[in-house]
Chain A
Amino acid sequence: MSEKCRVCEKPAVRNLGTYSFCEEHYKAATRQRSWLWPADLTTLLLSIAFVLVAFGLDRWLQPSFSSLTLIVLGIIMSFIPAGLWLAMFYRRDRYEPEPKVLVIQVFALGGLMAWGIGDRVLNILFDVDNWLYANWWTQLAGGILVVGFTQEFLKYLAVRASVYRLQEFDERTDGIIYGTAVGLGYATALNIDLIVASGGIDLGTAAFRIAITALAHASFSGVMGYFLAREKFEQNPIWWMPLGLTLAAVLNGAFYYLRGLIAIGQITSTGGSSNPWTGLFLAAGFAILLTWSLSKLIQQDVATAMATKEKK
């Protein structure tokens, strides 16, 4: 066999499906990071704990901050879910290390995509605030077609144009790792944008908003990352990646539609009320379900790949 490795261009010694790999990257492509799912779950639980602490402190102390202080505190809080995830990542990734600089770069790229392009496309080109909420079906359809596709495509582009071609993207779980990083970056930018535009939000409300957005975007782009990783390590049909993007966009649109549906309380004679807890539980449910499903799918994919006849 004189073919080149799909990842590093060295002479290939093994095949997985129609793609060829060197020994090192064959091992990487069939490796599983069994710690990833518990690490993600721990991050999720810590994010909920962060909301509880911020909400509790806000209620207990009832602090009175100036607008500037609220903005600064809000910006700092926006980085907490990403910080928790990165901390878990550093802690658990000791034996199969992923370049941390790359993970942070992808995180930053996600944020830049949100600020530089996503915000402009959604708020200036499509002016979504002025028509998306006209009725339930425009909210759902527009949420998927405009918001979902724009945000997920930008996250896809951030990973595809940066780490995807690098040798460091050499495992199936890398798709989920970089997908989560870009999603957290995107969510952090959205949260900062909201906090600055609102002139600061009280700490309890900000904690809910930050955790919900971070969990949701990390989950959607985790799905997109799974499809990207399989795209790299398997020869899939042409519709494979469009399917992945569509699924992520549908999850994105459906999540925000459901959140709006269940998080807004009954309209009473004294006005509307909202229940942020239901939004948080929905985001946590989405994150648990998707992370667990992706973990199982990767296990299954690796098992299938290993069972496929190898040729030397």
Chain B
Amino acid sequence: MTLTLTTKGLRQLKHDRRSVLAVTALTFLALLLGAVLKSSVENRSQRIERKGVTASVPANWVVEDGAGDLIFASWDPFVPDIRYTVFLIPNRSSHPLTQVSLERNLALGKGLEGFKVLEETPIIRRGREGYKVTYAFIDTNQPGMPLVLQGVDYYFPAEGNAIIISLQAHDRDYDEALLRFEAFLDSVSYK
């Protein structure tokens, strides 16, 4: 009789434990599916083509056509501080990219408060030679406290022109935004 009691009690205990494990496993499964959903939303992209420049930007991002050298700008509607821009500077095949970057940095320095170049270096990305400039500035146009923004410009030669692919993001979001920007950077081509 004692054996029956122990066996039944043990069975109940095992059932209780299995139930808790099943609930926990289901929750993990749901969260895993949720992570896949999050990733798919974040990685879904829209292919855009403007003035011979093609690129993939996240599907839910706003794309605005530019004027002059600015081909287009794109930003996350939920985090408007994260912004991609693509410029095409024509007929610069005879100028080194450093010269193009110098001109742009001077222009940024005039227009942006507290603008400071943090690092500039020649790079080779996916076999393409280019030039990279990272910088920071202060945005005082927002309501409330001024924001520190970081930016990175990639310069590449493109069919006799220079193409500038740029990211600007709030200092707080910059590192995370940079990871995603790399996919955008690699998607940009000019024909």
Mark A residues whose CB is within 8 Å of B: 2-4, 6, 19-20, 121, 126-127, 129-131, 133-135, 138, 141-142, 144-146, 148-150, 153, 156, 160, 231, 235, 238-242, 245-246, 249
Q: How far is the CB of A187 from chain B (nearest CB, A)?
A: 20
A2, A6, A19, A145: which contacts B33 (Cβ < 8 A)? A145
Name the B residues within 8 Å of A121 (CB-CB): 31
Report the minimum CB–CB distance from B39 to chain A (whole Å). 9
Q: Name the contact of A238 in the complex, choosing from B1, B19, B35 (C-beta under 8 A).
A: B19
How many chain B residues touch the partner (CB < 8 A)? 30
- Contact call B27/A160, Cβ cutoff below 8 A: no
Q: CB distance A134 to B34 under 8 Å? A: no
Contact with A along B11-25 (1 / 0, CB 8 A): 010010011101110
Residues of B within 8 A of A138 (CB): 37, 41
CB-CB < 8 A to B42: which residues of A? Answer: 131
Q: Is the CB of B78 within 8 A of A129?
A: yes
**In the assembled complex, B38 has its CB within 8 A of some CB on chain A:** yes
Among A19, A149, A242, contact of B22 (Cβ-Cβ < 8 Å):
A242
- Partner-binding segment picked from B2-10, B111-119, B156-164: B2-10
A238 touches B18 (CB 8 A): yes
Q: How far is the CB of B45 from chain A (nearest CB, A)?
A: 13
Q: Which residues of A contact B171 (CB under 8 A)?
A: none
Report how far A121 CA is from B38 CA in the complex, Å. Answer: 13
**10 shortest A-B CB distances, which residue pairs?**
A146-B34, A145-B34, A149-B30, A153-B27, A242-B26, A131-B41, A134-B60, A145-B30, A241-B19, A130-B78
Known: A2-B2, A121-B31, A160-B20. 12 other contacts (CB 8 A): A2-B1, A3-B9, A6-B12, A130-B79, A131-B42, A134-B41, A145-B31, A146-B30, A235-B15, A238-B19, A238-B22, A246-B26
